[in-house]
Amino acid sequence: MKQENTGENCGGKATLTNRGHQSGPGDLLVVEFLQGFREDKDFESAKEIINSLIYFDMLGKDIALKSALNYRALRKKGITIRKTADIIIGTFCIERDFLLLHNDKDFEPMEKHLGLRVYSVS
């Protein structure tokens, strides 16, 4: 996730910067990223890097309620988001006006119908 030049970022102690934009992971992204490691040493190395970054706690009561509303709005259009984490991540970014860097088709309807802003690498 990234936010454009507002001074706020999606992260904790350090931020990643690309072309003047600050970026970093949210807690749900950290879970999805770290659970993919098979080897303990790789997991520990990745965890050390993650711990050096600033990140946001993404889910609270407000985002939970808005995520449910967004999920229902998409369902009414015949669209099902397959993973609960994706609707939470998308809603968090919408509410914070963050750009989302992703490679997941579940975010495309959120962009089209809910106003999710995405960062294009092209």
Tell me: the pLDDT tens digits for 21-79?
Answer: 567 788 888 998 999 999 999 999 999 999 988 888 889 999 999 999 999 999 999 99
Q: What is the pLDDT of residues 75-99, one digit of tens each?
A: 999 999 999 999 999 999 999 988 8
- Which residues, other chains included, contact 38 with Cβ-Cβ below 8 Å and sequence gap of 6+? none
What pLDDT, on a 0 to 100 scale, did the predictor assign at position 55? 80
Position 4 scores a pLDDT of 42
Ramachandran region, residue 14 (left: φ > 0; alpha: ψ -120 to 50; beta: rest): beta
Counted domains in the chain: 1
* Pairing relationship of beta strands 117-118 and 99-100 according to DSSP bridges: parallel
Q: What is the pLDDT of residue 22?
A: 62
Residue 81's CATH number: 3.40.50.1010
